[in-house]
Structure 1
Amino acid sequence: MPEPENPTFGEAEPAHDDAVGQPHTEAEGQPIIAAEQDAARISSPAHPLGEPGPRFNRKSPFIIGLTAAAGVAVTYGGIELLIAARGVLILIVIAAFLAVGLEPAVSWLVHRRIPRWAAVTAVFLVAFGLLAGFLAAAIPPLVTQGTALVDNAPDYLHHLQQRYPTIDQLNSRFHLQDKLQETIGGENVPSVLGGIVGAGKVVFSAISGAVIVFVLTAYFLANFPRIRASLYRLAPHSRRPRTILIGDEIFAKVGGYVLGNLLISLITAVLTFIWLIAFGVPYPLLLAVLVAVLDLIPIIGSTLAGIVVALVALTVSLPISLATVVFFIALRLIEDYLLVPRIIGRTVQVPPLVTVVAVLLGGALLGIVGALLAIPIAAAILLLAREILFPQLDRR
């Protein structure tokens, strides 16, 4: 039987995918037809797409130049990408650290034969309930005390002028009361309105960032075993067991630091609140919350909090202010030599010098977030150096 004049290539040799580029005819050209026939020949049930061909000559000048150019381009693009996504990456890092910090609680529930989804839900419900209850109880007095502090600031400054000549001299030289009155009053309406708009943007950004961190933390916690396994799969098979041991130790250090730091800040806030109530210092709840937030910042946080609280206590009396300074010094000693060693000292063992340098570098690179994450990162780096770098150097 004679063949048709213009047969399709698919009818002559089914070496192509029937779902791509139909119809296959001789118009494709002899080189493509020959390649299609070779493709049909190398395709087999064991290798449907054929076996890999020979590697390119990596020593070829073209390959070397292409690789170098691609490396520069990829490096530059990666740096630009990191800069552009800096804000989002910070939120992701915060969520990852929170997930690692909550992981011990989730794993504890899982060990009690509770499904992981139920354990994650329970931990989040407890954390969210505590946070919501605190905000519901604290926001009304915080708003009231904050408004009262702003409204009464000029009166407090005038009162301090009358009692302490040094402050009166500073006010006469720098016109502090006039500037404070202009800032709070309605004489500079555009600036006030601009400040309100700016504050609204800050609040909106904080709320949206908190929601993103909350959702990411939930995803990280729910998928933590899978994420952990995927990270360990990146290590070579021969080094994977030791990678698991070191990685789990790092996770434990980060988790212990996050939970321990939150607990220490809560303790310092409660002690500060009791002190302020006992000595009649105004705005005790507002100042206690400020102490809790600032105390999360290593090294300088508690010092800044003590200065602010001592200045507010100065409106009561100079002896109360000096006693508050002594209280914060004692609180810092208790925190450094009692709370930190017992709560997180055994988990995160970082020398004081390394702590200071890490906090300074972290603060310079990422601000408050960098200062918060500096110590666990430094602990992880020290662990890697002790277990990997130093043994290799000692063998050389």
Structure 2
Amino acid sequence: MFGIDVRAARAVWTAALVLLALYCAYTVRTTLLVLLFGVFFSYLVYPLFVLLQRWTGGRLPRVPLLIMVYALIVGAFVLAGALFGTRIATEAQNLAQELPKLMQPGQLQRQLPLPAPLEPLRVRLAEFLQNLISAGASQALPTVRGLGTGLLHVAGNLIYVVVVPIFSFLMVRDAPGIEGVLVSLGKKQDGSFWSSLARGLNHLMSQYVRALALLSLATVIVYSVVLSLLGAPFALLLAVLAALLEVIPVFGPLIAALSIFSVAIVSGYPHVWWLVAFIVAYRIFQDYMLNPYLMSEGVNVPPIVVVFGLLAGDELAGVPGIFLSVPFFAAVRIVAVQIRIHRERRQLEACEAGSGPDSG
């Protein structure tokens, strides 16, 4: 009557709702990131909760059991800080004081460890390395420049420190209710798609968070032990740095290796090539043995997509975008796989219905 196309109106209305939802998500992006990190933390807490639940035989209610889990986690952090916090702080202070002296002209040239065949190139190599280190310190990737600032920003907001554990506590406490909703959803018509998708995303998150935690733990233990045995300078500080950078795919381990190598060179450490051999051997073990064992097939993302995700995530959301880029693309992959499986199932059901006994 008024010349209005109903289908066009529905499409415009749907697009408007999508844009409104995206705008609302962008407006509350900080809150969404805090809740998302709460989800990550809950996946770290839940395995310990299940282990303690089995150890107690399921006799304790969920809330007291969760309180015990959080008490153990806080106790572990306090113990680690008491044992290693002072040493890490001392090494960081010493490195900050000594690094400007070590970077003085001629200092690197005298301390650079070189084999005999490369001695004629000492001056040129020293100048090249000094320019490279200076350029890397002043013109590092935005990813690296924003990492420390982002971590300090997060740590400086007490609300993050409080809300993330609270949200993870509530999520683990209500896990049976969430599972019940998914089971009831799967029983409805076409609900199997959503329940399968939820199970796939849950498996992805549990595998990814567990793998990151174990990889970082393995890195800090192995690096601290080996660097200390080799007598490398600032061993514990560099091991903690390598463990923190382990959560950044591709670039994180590379930055950690370059940092260890640079500090060893400017400090005049005489066994730099032993450090290089150790880092290469450990990366081979980590990347080709331990990482594939911990990461499930659904978590693996092609390296080119990882690099693109890291750069795009840094531009879009800074440090949180870097951290979330890999699980985001892995989640997109799971959604695409579930859509394909659902369509194939619907086509198969349609074919079976068409070839039934009444079809003739």
- Quickly name the TM-score band, shorter chain normalised: 0.7 to 0.9
SS at match of 1:238: coil
* Residue pair 1:253, 1:348 contacting (<8 A) in 2 also: no
Matches within 5 A, 1:128-147: 128-147=74-93
* Residue pair 1:97, 1:258 contacting (<8 A) in 2 also: yes
C-alpha deviation, 1:356, in angstroms: 4.1
C-alpha deviation, 1:163, in angstroms: 3.5
- Residue in structure 2 matched with residue 92 of structure 1 by the alignment: 35
Matches within 5 A, 1:44-123: 61=4, 70-110=13-53, 112-113=57-58, 114-123=60-69
Write the letter of the residue equivalent to 1:313: A
Matches within 5 A, 1:371-390: 371-390=322-341
Quick one: structure 1 residues 294 and 171, their matched pair in 2 at CA, closer, same or farther if it must change by over 3 Å?
Answer: closer
CA distance in 1, matches of 2:133, 2:53: 62
CA distance in 1, matches of 2:333, 2:176: 25
* Residue pair 1:264, 1:340 contacting (<8 A) in 2 also: yes
- Residue in structure 1 matched with residue 309 of structure 2 by the alignment: 361
Quick one: structure 1 residues 234 and 245, their matched pair in 2 at CA, closer, same or farther if it must change by over 3 Å?
Answer: closer
- Residue in structure 2 matched with residue 9 of structure 1 by the alignment: none
Structure number, greater radius of gyration: 1
Question: Which of 277, 291, 305 is equivalent to 1:340?
Answer: 291
C-alpha deviation, 1:359, in angstroms: 5.3
Write the letter of the residue equivalent to 1:74: L
- Residue in structure 1 matched with residue 232 of structure 2 by the alignment: 281
C-alpha deviation, 1:82, in angstroms: 1.8
2:195 aligned with 1:247? no
Quick one: structure 1 residues 352 and 247, their matched pair in 2 at CA, closer, same or farther if it must change by over 3 Å?
Answer: closer
CA distance in 2, matches of 1:266, 1:329: 18
Deviates more, 1:235-244 or 1:82-91: 235-244
- Residue in structure 2 matched with residue 126 of structure 1 by the alignment: 72
CA distance in 2, matches of 1:222, 1:364: 35
Quick one: structure 1 residues 211 and 138, their matched pair in 2 at CA, closer, same or farther if it must change by over 3 Å?
Answer: farther
Q: Which runs of 5+ in 2 are unaligned?
A: 113-122, 139-148, 349-360
* Residue pair 1:299, 1:356 contacting (<8 A) in 2 also: no
Matches within 5 A, 1:155-304: 155-158=101-104, 159-164=107-112, 165-166=123-124, 169=127, 202=153, 205=156, 207-230=158-181, 237-241=188-192, 243-304=194-255
Quick one: structure 1 residues 271 and 206, their matched pair in 2 at CA, closer, same or farther if it must change by over 3 Å?
Answer: farther
Quick one: structure 1 residues 356 and 93, their matched pair in 2 at CA, closer, same or farther if it must change by over 3 Å?
Answer: farther
Write the letter of the residue equivalent to 2:247: L
C-alpha deviation, 1:248, in angstroms: 2.8
Quick one: structure 1 residues 321 and 211, their matched pair in 2 at CA, closer, same or farther if it must change by over 3 Å?
Answer: farther
Deviations 1:331-352 (A, max 9, x none): 111112221233x13x344455
CA distance in 1, matches of 2:41, 2:280: 30
What count of residue pairs does the alignment treat as equivalent?
A: 318
Normalized against structure 2, the TM-score is what?
0.73
CA distance in 2, matches of 1:208, 1:320: 46
Deviations 1:222-257 (A, max 9, x none): 222333444666667123356435533431332122
- Residue in structure 1 matched with residue 117 of structure 2 by the alignment: none
CA distance in 2, matches of 1:233, 1:137: 49
CA distance in 2, matches of 1:162, 1:275: 26
* Residue pair 1:266, 1:292 contacting (<8 A) in 2 also: yes
CA distance in 1, matches of 2:133, 2:50: 59
CA distance in 2, matches of 1:95, 1:232: 24
C-alpha deviation, 1:378, in angstroms: 3.9
C-alpha deviation, 1:362, in angstroms: 5.0
SS at match of 2:190: helix
- Residue in structure 2 matched with residue 324 of structure 1 by the alignment: 275
Write the letter of the residue equivalent to 1:128: V
Deviations 1:139-182 (A, max 9, x none): 222221111111111221133143352476469989969x99xx
Quick one: structure 1 residues 264 and 65, their matched pair in 2 at CA, closer, same or farther if it must change by over 3 Å?
Answer: closer
* Residue pair 1:91, 1:213 contacting (<8 A) in 2 also: yes
Q: Which runs of 5+ in 1 are unaligned?
A: 1-58, 181-197
- Residue in structure 2 matched with residue 392 of structure 1 by the alignment: 343
* Residue pair 1:314, 1:320 contacting (<8 A) in 2 also: no
